[in-house]
A and B are shown apart, each in its own frame.
Chain A
Amino acid sequence: NAGVTQTPKFQVLKTGQSMTLQCAQDMNHEYMSWYRQDPGMGLRLIHYSVGAGITDQGEVPNGYNVSRSTTEDFPLRLLSAAPSQTSVYFCASSYSRSSGRINEQFFGPGTRLTVL
């Protein structure tokens, strides 16, 4: 299994540009999430999905959109990039609660985004 993959690894955008961060998992996990990591602020949840066709907002959703058309993929779209969105973005996936597992989250390697 490849686990959770993210592309690209690095990206530089100009203010106002749009782009999509890709995330895929091959573990048949129902839950997928997007986080951003900023110094001294830990991980903050942007959006999450509990299954294909179902998404919801997390703690910091403004400026981002998501969709979940398949179990495997969970792309994150930046609609009009702003310097405040400069961050490291992590995608994560986990089993559903009905599996009886401990809900360990499996993280991708991250995308480092700079908005000028």
Chain B
Amino acid sequence: GEDVEQSLFLSVREGDSSVINCTYTDSSSTYLYWYKQEPGAGLQLLTYIFSNMDMKQDQRLTVLLNKKDKHLSLRIADTQTGDSAIYFCAEKESGGYQKVTFGTGTKLQVIP
């Protein structure tokens, strides 16, 4: 079945860039997502990328997709303390229910 993997923890200094990485296994994925979970809350969609794109930029966020290696990354420029959260990578399979599979989540800690 599908598998989505992420490292569990990342610590960066305020103002630096953060790069959160994700690998997935389903080559037929149609969309790949990044969700953000703040403490005590549910997940919220941060950004997404179509599987036929290599890169997407949205203000401070840059998503890179390497389909050959099945690798997805999220870069946050000028990281702020408000960016401290858990970030989940997710992929949507094609066909049927189009189930979304989530990764384990990466906890980003921003040090002032």
Contact = CB atoms under 8 A, between A and B. Distances in A.
A109 B42 contact: yes
Interface in A29-59: 31, 35, 40-43, 45, 48, 50, 56, 58
A43 B88 contact: yes
Interface in A60-116: 90, 92, 97, 102-105, 107-110
Contact of B98 (A35, A45, A103, A109): A103
Given A102-B48, A107-B44, A108-B42, A42 B97 contact: no
B99 A45 contact: yes
Nearest to B92: A103
Nearest to B100: A105
A42 B103 contact: yes
B8 A40 contact: yes
A110 B42 contact: yes
Contacts of B102: 35, 42-43
A102 B31 contact: yes
A110 B41 CA distance: 7
A41 B42 contact: no
A76 B44 CA distance: 22
Contacts of B41: 109-110
Given A42-B4, A105-B100, A110-B42, 8 more contacts: A31-B97, A42-B104, A43-B43, A50-B97, A103-B100, A108-B42, A110-B40, A110-B41
16 contacts: A35-B102, A42-B4, A42-B88, A42-B104, A42-B105, A48-B99, A92-B42, A97-B98, A102-B31, A102-B48, A103-B31, A103-B92, A104-B45, A105-B45, A109-B41, A110-B42
Top-4 shortest CB links A-B = A107-B42, A42-B104, A43-B102, A107-B43
Interface of A: 4, 31, 35, 40-43, 45, 48, 50, 56, 58, 90, 92, 97, 102-105, 107-110
